[in-house]
Amino acid sequence: MVVDVHVHPSFFKDICDNPKRVSFRREQTGLYKTGIKPMELIYTQLDAAGINKTVLFAEDLTTLYGDTVISNEEIKTLIDLAPDRFIGFASVDPHRADALEVLDYAFKDLGLMGLKLNLSKQRLFPTDDKLKPIYEKCIKYNKPIMFHAGLSWEPDTLSKYSHPLNFEEVALTYPDLRMCLAHFSWPWVNETVMLLIKYPNVYTDTSMLYLDSPKDFFEQIFMKNMGPLWMDRNFNNKVMFGSNSPRFRPYRLKDALESLDIRRSTIQRILGTNAIQFLGLEV
């Protein structure tokens, strides 16, 4: 089982029938040249990459930018097209007065499996009081949170909100809240490693900005910047495969991961087993 835990379906054709919404997505994501993809092409690309399941993210920027980039309802539309392939994560703008009602609807009625927050875009530190009832709601429903962490490629973002050390208090205060600090919080990889080792509820994913080729970059990060045995021996149950598609091509990051000189059992964990645990699917 291979699971890509980090995909933004901004240009999946079946939710791109409104040109104004597509234009808004381009402005907010900075992906001005990415083409709209028919669903048949998406399925073919997933098959070619050997990816069985994909986690799709909504993004709610209602109060600061006036709309959702992708709504929870649009994520549900995509899931219904391929429920065996797609897993949906909700989004909520924590500044909304009805934020908790939005989450109740997303979890109970839409059946979404987790929550995605980009606090760099939403202009909040993880310890902001607005977020506390949201964390408690996720715990109530046993839903994990995928936090953007580290550098955000989206326009109008400040990385100070997503430094990994800002999430430590959340990990400590809410030990039952499974949380992923996406992108390995690059460039703060060592700080993320510390959190992975220290807190059982903290995970990360591989969707980092690569500065050369994915293989060269992964070799540098995982085998040189880190000790070559760190992944195998210390946190092999905490790292998940994530591509950050459409910004990066999933098959290139998957190939880069599989090229690393680490145990095949660790690769298997990263590609799927850890995601099943994070998502709560093992039951």
Where are the domains positioned within the chain? 3-279
Hey, which residues does 269 pair with through a beta bridge?
none
- Read off the pLDDT band of 132 (50, 70, 90): very high
Query: What integer pLDDT is reported at residue 248 of this predicted model?
Result: 79
The string of pLDDT tens digits covering residues 237-260 is 999 999 988 887 888 999 999 999
Please check whether residue 14 is in contact with residue 78, taking contact to mean a CB–CB distance below 8 angstroms.
Answer: yes
**How many whole angstroms from its chain centre is CA 265?**
23
Query: What integer pLDDT is reported at residue 260 of this predicted model?
Result: 95
- How far apart CA 201 and CA 185 sit, in angstroms, is 16
Give the lowest-confidence range in 104-108, 134-138, 248-252: 248-252
Over range 15-20, report the average pLDDT. 95
Query: What integer pLDDT is reported at residue 283 of this predicted model?
Result: 53
Give the rounded percent of residues in the chain with a pLDDT score beyond 90. 89
pLDDT(151) > 70: yes
Please check whether residue 278 is in contact with residue 180, taking contact to mean a CB–CB distance below 8 angstroms.
Answer: yes
Contacts of 70 (CB under 8 A, 6+ apart): 8, 9, 10, 15, 25, 57, 58, 59, 91
pLDDT(282) > 90: no
- Read off the pLDDT band of 29 (50, 70, 90): confident
- β 114-117/145-147 pair status: parallel
Query: Is the preceding peptide bond at 200 cis, omega within 30 degrees of 0?
Result: no
The mean pLDDT value of the chain amounts to: 95
**Torsion-angle region of residue 66: left (phi > 0), alpha (psi -120 to 50) or beta?**
left
Asked if CATH classification 1.10.150.120 holds for the domain at 3-279, the reply, yes or no, is no
- Read off the pLDDT band of 209 (50, 70, 90): confident
- Read off the pLDDT band of 234 (50, 70, 90): very high
Over range 208-218, report the average pLDDT. 88
Give the lowest-confidence range in 24-38, 219-233, 264-278: 24-38
Global pTM reads 0.95
Over range 119-147, report the average pLDDT. 97
Over range 256-281, report the average pLDDT. 96
Burial of 165-197, coded b for 16+ CB within 10 Å and e otherwise, reads: ebbbebbeebeebbbbbbbbbbebbebbbebbe
The closest alpha carbon to 170, from 135, 216, 219, belongs to 135
Q: Identify the residue with better confidence: 29 or 167.
A: 167
Long-range contacts from 135-140, C-beta under 8 angstroms, 24+ separation: 135/170, 135/174, 135/177, 136/174, 137/100, 137/103, 137/104, 137/107, 138/103, 138/114, 138/177, 139/174, 139/176, 139/177
pLDDT(18) > 60: yes
SS3 for 265?
helix
- How far apart CA 146 and CA 133 sit, in angstroms, is 16
Over range 105-112, report the average pLDDT. 98
Query: How deeply is 85 buried, as exposed, middle or buried, from its count of CB atoms within 10 A (0-12, 13-18, 19+)?
Result: middle
The string of pLDDT tens digits covering residues 38-93 is 999 999 999 999 999 999 999 999 999 999 999 999 999 999 999 999 999 999 99
Contacts of 97 (CB under 8 A, 6+ apart): none
